[in-house]
Structure 1
Amino acid sequence: MNNTETRILEPGQIAPPTGEIRFLLLPGRDLFARRAERFRVLAPGHPVGEYLGFLALLADAQQEALDRFPPLPLPTPEEQALCRRHGMPLLAVRSWPRNPAWREGLALILRRMAGADVPAAVRETVDGLVSLPENRLEEMADGILSGDLAAAPPRELPFVAAALQVYWVYLATAVGEQAFARLEAGGVCPVCGSHPAAGIVRADGTEQGLRYLSCSLCASQWHMVRIKCSACEATEGIGYYSLEGSNGAIKAESCAGCNTYLKLLYLGKDGAMEATADDLASLALDMLMAEAGKVRGGPNLFLHPGGA
């Protein structure tokens, strides 16, 4: 593992691009199709290629669920204005009244996966989820959204998390970018209040060279200045780590103050990267960070803390 210098520039020394920085980028309605394609590119020959291949099928099912999601009540203009005025996430996971329609999305995902070419263990998990009572599904959802991924068993977590992602992506894209405002806490999603799965250093247009954090739940991306801890917002003691022999497309940004890290994906090195997929495909970097005593600053909802 390579550790580059721990201080490079102060955040204020990074020259902003000409014009106003776009603070929020909502996911496209083709998010899961693009994610599925990326999983399929990453899976062949990968040490966890079988899991990545499974997640490609799951992302296909997510895309179908999103495409067929029924119209739902959205925040009113008054609610939108209130959240913008007070700097609160409009679709906050802890306060937004979760519509039971998310379970309809889960049911569609499970039907799609039941008809896919998957191992027997996956079929058993699908059958078990189909038969679970609604209150148990809601309990797992509550736990996942509160940050307790162990609230769902390892084999069930991906399915429940996938359905929750579809629901929040639907809401975010249905409301539209203009409804959201910056938060005082820069390390949480201004759309839903969740933590980021990874950071992305963009390489296109007016966002070139800017760091955006990618939400682990709704996949919205929000701007945060570079060389600043996404967990505690410290600007001192920031270090960067990468795997020896890599091209530097993925680095772990680590904070000495709070002992957390978050991966950064440099699209200038590989423009095809996708936050959720490439985060999972770079677990070797997580293992090395764990050996160094560092902890993740944000979750990947398909990475169970207890292992498979």
Structure 2
Amino acid sequence: MTQRILEPEQIQSLDPSAIPRIRLPQRADVFRTRAERLRQLAGHNPIGGYVRLMAALADAQQQALEHLSARMPSRDAIAAAQQHSMPILPALSNERDPQWRAVLRRLADRVEAAGAVTPALANVLDALRAMDDAALDAQADAVLALRYAEIVPSTAPFIMAALQVVWTDLASRLDARDVPYVDAPGVCPVCGGAPVASVVRIGGAFQGYRYVQCGLCSTETHVVRVKCTNCDSTKGIAYHGIEGGNEALKAESCDECHTYRKIGYMEKDMEFEPLADDLASLTLDLLMGEAGYRRASPNPLLWPEAPAEE
């Protein structure tokens, strides 16, 4: 069967109401699919050991998600978000469910139980367990607000992983019709988080459409193709790949804001998973840095050692 892939001009000429605006995370397998993809990408990868560790962490996330039911927003809160075009479950608020800290500790225990714990990883897990609630919340605030100077890179992926479980749980239980329209480019309408990468999907109502995947809640939001997902510009957009590398993965750069995000094409690789493929393509990040572009936002599971320019 031949699948029809729409060109950018065709997509933009269609009635926007016919395009699914939101793709909420699939609770049954969102992290399991990510873990499987990470393991697939780990072989012959320059950071293969780390990618496999993150696969074990994603497995632990799926287990934690199956037993979590975080506090949902009230109908009044949903109505207020809709009225003001604000994210419905804002991550940067004082209403964070304290269950996230228990989730973090369960993730640490499950990663440790998965085996192959190196001395360095053992130190990271011990450091997480030694942090009190106030210290954990301070780190959560820092990673969600991208205050790089305050982030401890070694523990941040685990803290972010726990937050991902909570917000993915919430997002998976929303009605897509309740999700507000948010005008700011690069802002998730569910949680206010930043996209990690985008994907041109295949199949059903999503055929040929491009979606950006939130790095926190895994919600995917439709964005027309050949458009910067950081500044909304349609000028100076270019695509970069690695010769002989995965043809399904490109870096989409913008000469207006000098940033880039990666984009994957499922017609070329049906198993593309935005966060996993972004994490496992560090070589492309290095090449984009050498070309003078900076990441529009970090991968939630890999944080820079030095403070980044904001």
* The two structures share one fold, judged by TM-score above 0.5: yes
Distance 1:290 1:16 in 2: 36
Question: Paired residues, what number?
Answer: 298
State the alpha-carbon separation in 2 of the partners of residues 144 and 18 from structure 1: 34
Kindly state the Cα deviation for residue 102 of structure 1 after the two structures are TM-superposed.
Answer: 0.4
Which range moves more in the overlay, 28-37 or 286-295? 28-37
AA paired with 1:105? V
Once structures 1 and 2 are overlaid, which stretch shifts more, 100-109 or 115-124?
115-124
In 2 relative to 1, CA 82–11 (structure 1 residues): closer, same or farther, beyond 3 Å?
farther
1:16-38 Cα shifts (integer Å, max 9, x gaps) = 38971110001111211111111
Distance 1:192 1:19, change over 3 A: closer
**How do residues 44-59 of structure 1 correspond to structure 2 at under 5 angstroms?**
44-59=43-58
CA deviations over 1:239-286 (Å, ceiling 9, x no partner): 111111235211111111110111111111101011111001111111
In the alignment, does 2:175 pair up with 1:206? no
Q: How far does the alpha carbon of each residue in 1:33-77 deviate from its partner, in whole angstroms, 9 at most, with x for none?
A: 1111111111122111100110111111111111111x3331111
2:183 corresponds to 1:195: no
User: SS of the residue aligned with 1:74?
Assistant: coil
Look up the match of 2:136. Answer: 137
Matching residue's letter, 2:125 = V
Secondary structure at the counterpart of residue 173 of structure 2: helix
Matching of residue 164 in structure 1 with residue 175 in structure 2:
no
Mapped to 1, the partners of 2:150 and 2:57 lie a distance apart of: 20
Q: Is the 2:193–2:214 Cα contact (8 Å) retained in structure 1?
A: yes
2:35–2:56 Cα contact (<8 Å) kept: yes
Q: Is 1:267 paired with 2:266?
A: yes
Matched-pair contact (CA < 8 Å) for 2:185–2:231: no
Equivalence for 1:97: 95
Match of 1:288 in 2: 287
The answer to whether the 8 Å contact 1:149/1:301 transfers is no
Amino acid at match of 1:80: I
Which residue pairs with 1:34 in the alignment?
Answer: 33
Unaligned runs of 5+ in 2: 1-6
User: Which residue number corresponds to residue 241 of structure 1?
Assistant: 240
Matching of residues 6-85 of structure 1 within 5 Å: 14-16=12-14, 20-29=18-27, 30-69=29-68, 71-85=69-83
CA distance in 2, matches of 1:222, 1:238: 20
Q: 8 Å contact 1:213–1:223 — kept in the other structure?
A: yes
What is the identity, as a one-letter code, of the residue corresponding to 2:229?
S
Q: How far apart are residue 177 of structure 1 and its match? A: 2.0
SS of aligned partner of 1:175: coil
- Deviation of 1:150 (Å): 4.9
Deviations 1:173-222 (CA, angstroms, capped at 9, x unpaired):
12332320221123211100111000111122222221110101111100
| Percent of aligned pairs sharing the same letter | 42
CA contact (8 A) 1:113 1:126 kept: no
> How far 1:113 sits from its partner (Å)?
1.8
Aligned partners of 1:276, 1:13: CA distance in 2, in Å? Answer: 24
Q: Secondary structure in 2 aligned to 1:268?
A: coil
Asked whether the equivalents of residues 150 and 306 of structure 1 are also in contact (C-alpha less than 8 Å), the reply is: no
Q: Show the counterpart of 2:181.
A: 182
TM-score normalized by the length of structure 1: 0.91
| Residues 79-88 or 253-262, more deviating | 79-88
Contact between 1:200 and 1:275, CA under 8 Å: does it hold in 2?
Answer: yes
**Equivalent position of 2:3 in the other structure:** none
Structure 1 unmatched runs, 5+: 1-8
Q: Distance in 2 between matches of 1:97 and 1:133?
A: 19
Seen in structure 2, the aligned counterparts of structure 1 residues 238 and 299 have a Cα distance that, compared at 3 Å, is same
Q: What are the within-5 Å matches in structure 2 for residues 105-120 of structure 1?
A: 105-117=103-115, 118-120=117-119
Q: Aligned equivalents of 1:145 and 1:283: distance in 2?
A: 22
SS in 1 for 2:238: strand
